[in-house]
Amino acid sequence: MDKSLQMSAELRIVLFSSRRPLQTIVSNCILGRQVIMPAEGNFSQISKNHEEIEGRKVSVINTGNFFEKDHTQQHIEKELKRCVCLSCPGPHAVLLILDLEDISATDVRTVEKLTKYFVDNILKYTILVLCHDGKEENPNLEDRLWEGINLREILDKCGHRYHLFNKNSVGAKPLLKRIESLVAENGDRFFTNDKYEEIEGSIRKVETFVEKESEKEMDKRLCELDCMYQGEELKRERDQYLKIVRAEIRKEAEQIILYQLKFPAQDTDYGAGMHAAFVGGLGATTMMMMMRGLGGGVTGSVLGMIGAAIVVAVVVWRFWRR
């Protein structure tokens, strides 16, 4: 199953690899900066980072090597649910990152487990990123693709979609171009399934609740902007304000669901944990907007949403306990 993509919307890319250093290199290259990955001992290895690239928001969701044999099925399923949460409503591309010098049976199992959890259709959105130390134009690299039985098997499963990635490269344009080509091949649509639709539905419920509880504060701030600006400038300021607030609401709604997946309600003081999460996240938004010169009214507006968000945390906590 898939859904349409508006080209101005977020481009979501999920990275899988049995080799964490390679995943870090590819992630850094796409975003054009160094990404801090979760420590190996962290409860979860899933992380999300984003940058605006050529006027478009690009989000990269990094996953841990949770397909190793020593991970329990319960751990794998929880990590995959967190991956779904952070890539909702669905990824436009899945990058399976491999070392061209060493394609193992573990890599084959990764593909098998992806299809087991996400269904076979996920492979329509998958590109093999084959990392190497040589030059991409070296013809021998292409020849080597068909030498190993493991790589041939993976290529067949993924429709022979691959990208040769030089680990020493500094630019992501060729890789991003390949991703955009895949998106076009899929009719500008992203992957989704019942798991994505279920979690996206939960996120939207939280968003709706927060927006409703924050309506008075938002209306107050919009009235302040009406008094400060006119014409095109007013439209620009209103649009920017709503864009920032809605993006923050979306981010915090994702965090509510993510924390529920990470800390089951019966195992933690969920309300206290979410209070800290909201104060941190929305506090950053307040500072960002104040730096833009939108004035002190923003503080009241955003802080007003914190109270609503904490109420939402309790509501969701009770919902998930049922």
Please report the DSSP string for 22-52 in residue order.
HHHHHHHHHHTS---PPPTTSS---EEEEEE
- pLDDT value of residue 196: 95
Rounded-to-integer distance, Cα 110 and Cα 64, Å: 12
Backbone φ and ψ for 193, nearest 5 degrees, come out as: -155, -170
**Would the pLDDT of 234 be above 80?**
yes
By mean pLDDT, which of 19-33, 104-118, 189-203 is the weakest? Answer: 104-118
Please provide the CATH number assigned to the domain covering 2-191: 3.40.50.300
Q: Dihedral sign for Cα 269, 274, 277, 283, please.
A: negative
Structure tokens at 81: 């649910």
Domain boundaries, the chain: 2-191, 200-321
CB 208 within 8 A of CB 241: no
Rounded-to-integer distance, Cα 303 and Cα 289, Å: 12
- pLDDT value of residue 19: 87
Instruction: Give how far Cα 148 sits from Cα of 23, 39, 81, 102, 269, Å.
Output: 22, 33, 32, 9, 51
Q: What is the DSSP letter of 124?
A: G
Q: Dihedral sign for Cα 311, 319, 79, 190, please.
A: negative
**Would the pLDDT of 285 be above 90?**
no
More confident residue, 275 or 308: 308
Rounded-to-integer distance, Cα 49 and Cα 15, Å: 12
3-class state of residue 138 by DSSP:
coil
Percent of the chain at pLDDT > 90 equals: 40
Q: How many CB atoms lie within 10 A of CB 175?
A: 21
Structure tokens at 187: 């009719």
pLDDT-based confidence at 299, cuts 50/70/90?
A: very low
Instruction: Give how far Cα 68 sits from Cα of 71, 113, 242, Å.
Output: 6, 11, 43
**Would the pLDDT of 185 be above 90?**
yes
Q: How many CB atoms lie within 10 A of CB 124?
A: 16
More confident residue, 9 or 25: 25
pLDDT, the chain, mean:
78
- pLDDT value of residue 171: 76
Rounded-to-integer distance, Cα 44 and Cα 222, Å: 39
Backbone φ and ψ for 120, nearest 5 degrees, come out as: -60, -30
Please report the DSSP string for 211-273 in residue order.
HHHTHHHHHHHHHHHHHH--HHHHHHHHHHHHHHHHHHHHHHHHHHHHHHHHS-GGGS-HHHH
- pLDDT value of residue 240: 92
**Would the pLDDT of 159 be above 70?**
yes
Residues in the chain: 322
Instruction: Give how far Cα 169 sits from Cα of 18, 25, 134, 174, Å.
Output: 21, 10, 10, 10
Query: Which spans in 158-214 are helix H?
Result: 173-185, 194-213
CB 59 within 8 A of CB 48: yes
Contacts of 209 (CB under 8 A, 6+ apart): 308, 311, 312, 315
